[in-house]
Amino acid sequence: MSIWRPGLTVEQLNAPHMGGSMAWRLGMRFIEVGPDYLRATLPVNELTRQPAGILHGGANVVLAETIGSVASGVLAGHEGDRHVGLEVNANHLRAVTDGEVTATVRPLHTGRRTQVWDIRIEDSAGRITCVSRLTVLTVGPRQGE
């Protein structure tokens, strides 16, 4: 049984609404919808590296906050709701210099007004490079709905 709205697909997650976002411009793409998780990738390149040549910690946070916020928006029972981040933290555990990283988001708490998400970011070899937690507040219907 899936925790997401019925029929959710990777194509929907990568739909035009993502096109203008920071994460999309940096190259983030959703790659998998699981029963209780979403997965997305981010390239490690000239747009996402810091001057020292490693993945910028801020890029990890953009990836984590985006995948967690999207997860809140596609959670079953939250269709049409607007969600805002309350708190995000990240522990950067391993440097990444090239390739891509993959983030997996899973729920820790999915209440009616708040959601807490666990995000694990791994390098191409499957090693955890960053762990993050995002707390999201449901603030009501999206504007115009």
Residue 93 CB-half CA count within 13 A: 14
Could you say which of 11, 65, 100, 145 is catalytic? 65
Q: Where does residue 144 fall: left (phi above 0), alpha (psi -120 to 50 degrees), or beta otherwise?
A: left
Q: Is 65 a catalytic residue?
A: yes
Which are the contacts of 20, defined by CB distance < 8 A and separation ≥ 6? Answer: none
| Cα distances (angstroms) measured from residue 106 to each of 3, 36, 38, 77, 131 | 10, 6, 7, 17, 12
Q: How far apart are CA 103 and CA 128, in angstroms?
A: 10
CA distance 59 to 132: 12
Tell me the catalytic residues.
65
